[in-house]
Structures are given as C-alpha cells and as structure tokens.
Amino acid sequence: MAVFPSTAAAGQAERRSHGTGAGTGTGTRRGAGANGGRGGRPRSQRAAYLFIAPIALGFLVFYIWPLLETFWFSFTTFGAFGGNSWVGGENYERVVRDVTVGKALGNTLLYMVMGLMTLPVAIVLADLMNRRGLRGVPVYRTLYFMPFVTMPAAVGLVWNWLYNGDFGMVNEALSWIGVDGRYWISDPSTAVYAIGVVMIWSHVGYYLIIFTAGIKAIPRDYYEAAEIDGAGPVRRFFRITLPLLSPSIFFASVICVINSLQQFDLIFVMMSPENPALGETQSIVTLFFKWAFDENSQGAAAALAFLLMLLIAALTYVQFRLQKRWVHYA
C-alpha cells in the first residue's frame, strides 16, 4: 500500500481509527485515559518512549518524510533523466486545467460510493452467519475472505475472463435466463460498474470479519431480553445489532473510503491501454501513475497525489465529526 505518497494520509487515518473501532466498544480514548501514566515515574516513561520509538521512527521515515517530499516535488518539474527545478504553482494549474482530472475525480468518487456498498452487504452476511445453529461458519468465512488475500492482479485477470464479451462466463450465465450480455469492461457505459462489482466482491470478506467480531461482542442478554419482549428478528437487527455495531461500522467506513479513493490495481490490470472505456474508469491514482511513469511529469503527478491526500484527509475529518451523531459506544 505504501507505494504512493498519498498513503501517508491513509496510514494516519487507519492508525487513528484502529484505536477507535477495532476493539468494538473498548475505545482507546478510555484506554488512554486509564493508563495515561500521569503519575508514572520518569524511568517507566522512558521505557514507554522506547516502546513507541520503532513505530514512531517508521512513521516519520515512511509517512511524514515522503509526505513533505511529495509536497516539495509538487512545485518542481523533473528532467526525464534526473534533476528537478522549481516551477511554482504550474503543476497545480495543470491539475485544475486538465479535463481528465475532473473525469478521474468523478470516477474516484463513484468508486467510493460503490465501495461503501460493500458495508451493508458485509453487515447482512455477518448477521446471517451469526445465526445460532448455522453449520460450517468457518468454511463460509474462509470462502468470503479468500478473494481479499488474493493478489489484485490475479483477481483482475480472472474477472477479465469472466467478463469477456465473446466467451465469458458472465454472459454465458446471463444467456441461460435469456439476457443478452455485453462487453462489460470495454463498453464505456458499464466498465466502471463492472470494476465496482469486482471491488465489492474482493473486499466483502475483510469487512465481514470485522463485523462478525463486532456482533460477537454484543452481549447475548440483549437479544434474549428483546425476544421475551416480543421483538422479531428484523426488529432485533435494527434495534440491537446495528446500533451496537456502529463503532465497527464507523471504523469500516473510514477504511473503506480511504481504500476506494485509492483504487488502482484492479483498473490497471483490467483495462488495457486500447480499451475504449479507459477514460470512463480512470481513477485519480491511475492518472497519477500515468503522469508519473508514462508521461514523465512527476511534478504534476505529485501535485495530484497531494490533492488526493487532502481530499482523503477532509473526508476522514468529516466522518470523525459526524460520528458523534450515530456511533454508540456501549
């Protein structure tokens, strides 16, 4: 993930949100207050800093430094074979002026929306999988998780075959129910959604695991009490599961927004350069790649990456502000 400078922001947010959500309910805020070490001795404090040091150093070297460097690069232009010179705001001007940027930004936001649709799917699946008496849960869990640990390049290639307009399995399956298939990933009107489906498919397992853990942490008593009061499964889901799962949902949505805004590998693998739908599927990060490595304008690419980081930071900030309204820490 740390290939792109913009992941600096991602890393930051991920770290923060891990604290808030991962424990599903046992927020770090409280944790931090409890062993906050106000009365700690200098010696134990030194030990604490020693323990923090490796990660802090890594953070400085691999996240903060590249971040600053990217910012600096965004005001320079690179020679094709090394050396860079100051050009001021010219790169940002290009970002604003280039039509492909607007298009890529729109696509990226579309990927974000599609990415967020993974969450309800994962919640429903997690709820179903936690039904008492269901057998073979580990098998299902493995099946759902497998795509997530598979290399995106492999996922992309396999789906390219499935989507093939002439001999693909998707069209074959559709023909059984009398639907005429199309060229899913080379038709400009469907390509972006076709990629979205693969994105959801390959990430649902990850969120499923998070939500399963979250649901497991909800005390059984609540459900029993609700059952005695006559609440059906639907009502129990909306009144107990969802609210008590909200810290996990919050964590998942932060991660999900960050991940889908950085959508790159699937597009890169699935869309060949002569694909007529290329422009309709380009994301900010694929555009970044193209500028930096195909077109030799690393400076403008750095500006683009920096703007993406700002966008991610802003959206993450908004999510943290909004959490007070809907996240319940039990």
User: Closer CB to another protein, residue 175 or residue 272?
Assistant: 272
User: Closer CB to another protein, residue 82 or residue 138?
Assistant: 82
Q: How far is the CB of 125 from another protein (least distance, A)?
A: 32
Phi, psi of 195 (to 5 degrees): -70, -40
- The C-alpha atoms of residue 79 and residue 253 are separated, in whole angstroms, by 40
Q: How far is the CB of 99 from another protein (least distance, A)?
A: 7
- Cβ pair 116, 257 in contact under 8 A: yes
- The C-alpha atoms of residue 310 and residue 325 are separated, in whole angstroms, by 24
Q: How far is the CB of 82 from another protein (least distance, A)?
A: 5
Cα dihedral 260, 308, 109, 24, rounded to 10, equals: 40
Q: How far is the CB of 309 from another protein (least distance, A)?
A: 24
User: Closer CB to another protein, residue 83 or residue 232?
Assistant: 83
Selection from 316, 301, 205 nearest residue 3 by Cα = 301
Q: How far is the CB of 279 from another protein (least distance, A)?
A: 4
User: Closer CB to another protein, residue 17 or residue 160?
Assistant: 160
Contacts (Cβ under 8 Å, ≥6 apart) of 320: 254
- The C-alpha atoms of residue 202 and residue 205 are separated, in whole angstroms, by 7
Q: How far is the CB of 86 from another protein (least distance, A)?
A: 16
Binding site for another protein (CB under 8 A): 79-82, 94, 97-100, 164-166, 182-183, 185-188, 272-280, 282, 290, 293-297
User: Closer CB to another protein, residue 26 or residue 296?
Assistant: 296
User: Closer CB to another protein, residue 134 or residue 154?
Assistant: 154
Contacts (Cβ under 8 Å, ≥6 apart) of 283: 104, 107, 108, 111, 263, 264, 267
Please, where are the H alpha helices in 130-241?
137-149, 152-163, 169-176, 191-216, 220-228, 233-236
Q: How far is the CB of 190 from another protein (least distance, A)?
A: 9
- Cβ pair 104, 283 in contact under 8 A: yes
Q: How far is the CB of 175 from another protein (least distance, A)?
A: 15
User: Closer CB to another protein, residue 118 or residue 186?
Assistant: 186
Q: How far is the CB of 100 from another protein (least distance, A)?
A: 7
User: Closer CB to another protein, residue 180 or residue 294?
Assistant: 294
Burial grade of 285 (CB within 10 A; 0-12, 13-18, 19 or more): buried
User: Closer CB to another protein, residue 98 or residue 265?
Assistant: 98
* CA 65 and chain centroid, separation: 23
